[in-house]
Amino acid sequence: MGSSDVAEKKRAAGTKINSIWENFVRKSKAFWACVTLIVSLPTFSSEITDASDRCNTDHSETTPSDKFSSIQEGSIVHDNTTGLDWMRCPVGMAWDGDTCQGSASKYSLQKFEQLAELTGEDWRLPTIEELNSIVEKCRKKPAINLNIFPNTPEGFFWSSSRPTSMYDDDLPSKQQGVLFLYGSEGKKVVHEQHYARFVRSQEW
């Protein structure tokens, strides 16, 4: 075998080794990219106790526990129907791993808007439609699934929606919300102090 043949075989062998190595590196990068993505995704759990035995009206459940999944050690719930993430506790209360502790804060609309912005991660006040989506029509006092949102006050919760009725005399100074005593919509003057629960879209 001549020297040129030997050199050619060495070049071919080197090219093959480089190809194998590049393929390995490419697959390794793809693997670790998948690992990083999986680790960064929120962990979902469906371990929220059924609350059908808490119904106290003639309505069937509108927010059954299996509609939601708990994430971030239970402090947040994901609505599997709407795709929204909800803070389990009203603003001012804290999740202790089992329930909401402390007292819910009552602030003006502007104060809650500022708090939502400071909280970051796209947390915000819900629209009136979003707030209505967590009203539990099979119960009242409060009209909410307490296994999903424990210790929720029965008071008025702010939304981000302005009233649209042409019969309202002073629209700019009022904001829509839900009174969770009975789950009814209402309007309050924006400088009054009421409750709030923050929400975010899952794509954050």
Q: Write the pLDDT tens digit of every residue in 121-156.
A: 999 999 999 999 999 999 999 999 999 999 999 999
Asked if 153 and 132 sit in the same domain, the reply is yes
| Residue whose token pair is 């990068």 | 29
Asked if 57 and 31 sit in the same domain, the reply is no
Asked if 142 and 107 sit in the same domain, the reply is yes
**For position 124, which CATH number holds?**
3.10.100
> What is the pLDDT, as a whole number, of residue 54?
79
Asked if 129 and 188 sit in the same domain, the reply is yes
Asked if 190 and 90 sit in the same domain, the reply is yes
Asked if 86 and 161 sit in the same domain, the reply is yes
> What is the pLDDT, as a whole number, of residue 31?
40
User: Is residue 168 situated within a structural domain?
Assistant: yes
Higher pLDDT pick, 33 / 179: 179
C-beta separation of 185 from 128 below 8 A: yes
- Give the separation between CA 45 and CA 64, rounded to whole angstroms: 15
- Give the separation between CA 162 and CA 20, rounded to whole angstroms: 62
> What is the pLDDT, as a whole number, of residue 35?
33
User: Is residue 91 situated within a structural domain?
Assistant: yes
User: Is residue 46 situated within a structural domain?
Assistant: no
Asked if 26 and 59 sit in the same domain, the reply is no
> What is the pLDDT, as a whole number, of residue 58?
83
User: Is residue 47 situated within a structural domain?
Assistant: no
* pLDDT digits 0-9 by tens, 58-111: 888 999 999 999 999 999 999 999 999 999 999 999 999 999 999 999 999 999
Asked if 101 and 135 sit in the same domain, the reply is yes
On the question of pLDDT at 41 being above 70, the answer is no
Q: Structural domain tally of the chain?
A: 2
Range of the domain at 29: 1-41
> What is the pLDDT, as a whole number, of residue 204?
40
Asked if 13 and 92 sit in the same domain, the reply is no
Asked if 36 and 95 sit in the same domain, the reply is no
Asked if 3 and 69 sit in the same domain, the reply is no
Asked if 114 and 184 sit in the same domain, the reply is yes
